[in-house]
Each structure stands twice: as C-alpha cells, then as structure tokens.
Amino acid sequence: MESFVVHEGLVAPMDRANVDTDLIMPKQFLKSIRRSGFGPNLFDDLRYLDEGVPDADNSNRPINPDFPLNFPRYQGASILLTRENFGCGSSREHAPWALVDYGFRAIIAPSFADIFRSNCFKNGLLPIALDSSVVDQLFAALYENEGFSLSIDLERQVVAGSGFDRIAFEVDAFRKDCLLRGLDDIDITLQSEAAIRRFEAKHKELFPWVFDKVSI
C-alpha cells in the first residue's frame, strides 16, 4: 500500500449527499477481486450515458457532459470534495478500490459511512471529516477558482489551500500510523510473522494428528 504523508492535489467536486457505494461502484462490476482496473467505471452511472458492462472498452462510450469528473478543469484530480454520509449503503470494498484506481488519495466530506471509512484506510485512501460549514467554504472556493488545489499533511493533521487558514482534522491514531507507513492489514499481520511461525510450530507439536494426511 502506498504511504500517505503529505499530498497536494487538484480538487474535484461530488456535490451531493448520501452518495452510496452502488453509485460509486455499480454492482455489475463486483465480479473481480483484483483491486485494480476499476477506475474507468468509478461513478459509472453518472459518467456515461449508456449502461456499463464489465471488461468492456470504455474509450468509445458516450460521456455525460454534465458530470463534473468529465469537465476538463477537473482532469487529474486527486482529492474529492463531497457532502455528508459519503459511502453509505453496502460494504463493498470495490468502492475505495475504484476511487484509488482513478487516482484519488483523499476525500473530504462532513461525514462518512463507518464501513466505507474503514475500507478507505485499509486501501491507502484518506477520508477527512470536516464541519459542514468548512466544506461549504471549500465548495465555494472550488467553483470560483479553476485549478483549485489543497495540500494535506497527515502527520500534522492539517489541510491548507490558497485563501484558507490551515484546517485541522481528526484521525484515528492507529489508522494514521498505518497510512504514514503504508501498511495494510496483511502488512500489519506480517509484522508478527516470527510469532505466528512459533505458534504454528508449537501447535503442530501439541496436536500432530491435526496435520496427518487423511486418505479418502
């Protein structure tokens, strides 16, 4: 997992509340568990004018000209600004996979669905919850200034941008440490590899019959 220390990037808007995981990554794309390749179908129902099909070539699909991520000014955005309760609905991990594969490193919103927020941390995506009044100010600045970008310092837990004082945010200490070090759940487990191997050896010594081959 890519570590997150300081990130500066272009901001794109998703100016709606209660964006659920089915809108982020529609159900027909959930067959794969590769974690990669989902970016072209992020917000598929909003980005395109036709129905998305798994493993299809998206390059010639009709684009929705009214969807912000299709605007030239937001191409290359790596920070998503959105409204409350982002990531509600089902607990599909494909939603943060798609956001990361698209190129997003952070999401700013007044609130997030709990499981979605947890899945973000596990996949190197930083969810930042800010007061709704602050989010309103960021949206106003975003719409008024083409090329609006923000700098996010995870270690100091601050967001900074042109025309703004540094905005502090809260983050769970354990998840913060994992992001700073680029550790996902498997990496964390492997830090105890020696202890795991000792346990396995002892378990085999105490219960050798469990490891006997069974003839059928």
The domain defined by 6-185 folds into: Aconitase; domain 4 (3.20.19)
Res 149 pLDDT > 90: yes
pLDDT digits (tens, 9 = 90+) for 60-74: 999 999 999 999 999
Residue 134: count of CB within 10 angstroms of its CB = 15
Give per-residue pLDDT as tens, 6-33.
Answer: 999 999 999 999 999 999 999 998 887 7
DSSP state of 84: S
pLDDT for 92-139, tens place per residue? Answer: 999 999 999 999 999 999 999 999 999 999 999 999 999 999 999 999
Half-sphere exposure of residue 215: CA atoms within 13 angstroms, side-chain side: 0
CA 118 to CA 185: how far, in whole Å? Answer: 11
Q: What angle do CA 128, 165, 87 make, to 5 degrees?
A: 15
Report the C-alpha dihedral over residues 136, 138, 141, 143, rounded to 10 degrees: -70
SS3 199: helix
Structure tokens at 193: 């590899």
Q: What is the pLDDT of residue 156?
A: 97
Query: Which tokens is 30 given?
Result: 């959930």
Which residues make beta-bridge pairs with 136? none
CA distance 32 to 42: 14
